[in-house]
Amino acid sequence: MSNDNKSIHEFDLDLICEYYSNLERQGPGSPEITLKALSFIDNLTDESQIADIGCGTGGKTMVLGQHAPGQIRGIDLFPKFIHLFNEHAKKLNLQDRVKGIVESMDQLSFQEEELDLIWSEGAIYNIGFERGLKEWRKFLKKGGYIAVSEASWFTNGRPDEIHEFWMDAYPGIDTIPNKVKQMQHAGYIPVASFILPENCWIEHFYEPQLEAEKKFLKKYKGNQTAEFFIKNQRHEESLYYKYKDYYGYVFYIGKKL
C-alpha cells in the first residue's frame, strides 16, 4: 500500500479498515443474539423498511436478512465495507432485499417516518447513544422499533484502570438503568434490554482476530502504525478478560411512541 499522498490519520483509517475487512464481524455479537433481539420486534412484513446503521461488512445484517422480511439497507461510512457487504448479500442471494449504501450516520438521507426498524450493533457510539437515539427517531414510523447494542457498565463502581480506559475510549459508556432512562427520554418505550453473553466477545470477536492479527503483522512487518494498532487491540482484549464482570455490550430495544 502506498501512503505517499496521505496524512497519517487517513493511513491509520485505511489500515484499520483493512484489518477489520478480514473479519466477519467488526464488533461483539453472535447470530443467536441478533435473533434474540429480533424476537422483540413484532411489526415486520414484506413491506417493511429496515436500516442497519454502521453495518460494517454485514455479518449481522445478513442474519437479519435471512430471518426478517422486508427491505434492508445497510449504512456504513467505509466504501470497502459496503463493497464486501454487497458481495456478501449476493453470495447469499439476498441482493434484491439487502443493499449496502455508503453514508454517514450523522447525515442520513432517509425520509421522515420511512422506517419500521432501525438496527445498529456496536456502532451507535460513533455518534453517541443519546444523540443517535434522538436524531434517528424522526426516520421511524410511529410504532417503529430501534434495536442497538452499546457498551455499558454492569455495576455502579469499578476499578480505576478500566474506568480510565473507557473514559478515554468512549465517555458515553453508562450503567444499564441510565441507558434505559436515556432511551425513554429520547421518546421510546424501553421494550427490552439484555446483556450480550461472553461468547459474543470471546468466540465471535476476539478469537477470530488471532489469525487476522498474525496475517496483518506479517504483511506489515516493521510498520510502526500497524504494530501499534495490534498492540492496542491486544491490550483492549486483555482488559476485557480482566474486567468482564464490570462491563460489556447490552442490547437496548425501544418502540417509538
Size of residue set near ligand SAH by CB under 6 A: 21
Q: Which is nearer to ligand SAH, 109 or 155 (CB)?
A: 109
C-alpha 66: how far from its chain's center? 18
C-alpha 137: how far from its chain's center? 18
Q: Does 250 bind ligand SAH (CB under 6 A)?
A: no
- The crossing angle, in degrees rounded to 10, of helices 176-185 and 129-137 is 30
Q: List beta partners, residue 151.
A: 249
* Per-residue contact string for residues 38-77; x = within reach of ligand SAH by CB under 6 A: ----------------xxx--xx--------------xxx
Please identify which residue in 3, 71, 95, 126 interacts with ligand SAH, judged by CB under 6 A.
Answer: 126
End-to-end CA distance of the chain: 49
- Where are the strands (E) in 111-239, listed by range? 115-121, 140-153, 174-175, 188-195
Q: Which is nearer to ligand SAH, 180 or 196 (CB)?
A: 196
Q: What's the grid cell of residue 137? A: 427517531
Which residue, among 84, 79, 95, 105, has the nearest Cα to 25 in the 3D structure?
A: 84
Collapsing DSSP states into helix, strand and coil, what is residue 229?
helix
Q: Which is nearer to ligand SAH, 12 or 184 (CB)?
A: 12
How far apart are alpha carbons 76 and 232 in whole angstroms? 24
Binding to ligand SAH (CB under 6 A) within 72-101 occurs at: 75-78, 81
Q: Does 172 bind ligand SAH (CB under 6 A)?
A: no
How far apart are alpha carbons 117 and 132 in whole angstroms? 14
Q: What's the grid cell of residue 132? A: 443517535
Backbone angles phi, psi at 108, to 5 degrees: -75, 145
CB of 127 to ligand SAH, least distance (A): 7
Please identify which residue in 122, 132, 144, 248 interacts with ligand SAH, judged by CB under 6 A.
Answer: 122
CB of 18 to ligand SAH, least distance (A): 12
CB of 221 to ligand SAH, least distance (A): 26
Q: List beta partners, residue 149.
A: 121, 251
Q: Which is nearer to ligand SAH, 123 or 226 (CB)?
A: 123
Q: What's the grid cell of residue 89? A: 448479500
Q: Does 25 bind ligand SAH (CB under 6 A)?
A: yes
Residue 197 near residue 249 (C-beta atoms within 8 A): no
Please identify which residue in 38, 64, 105, 151 interacts with ligand SAH, judged by CB under 6 A.
Answer: 105
Q: Which is nearer to ligand SAH, 104 or 233 (CB)?
A: 104
CB of 210 to ligand SAH, least distance (A): 18
CB of 126 to ligand SAH, least distance (A): 4
By CB under 6 A, name the binding residues for ligand SAH.
25-27, 29, 54-56, 59-60, 75-78, 81, 104-106, 121-123, 126
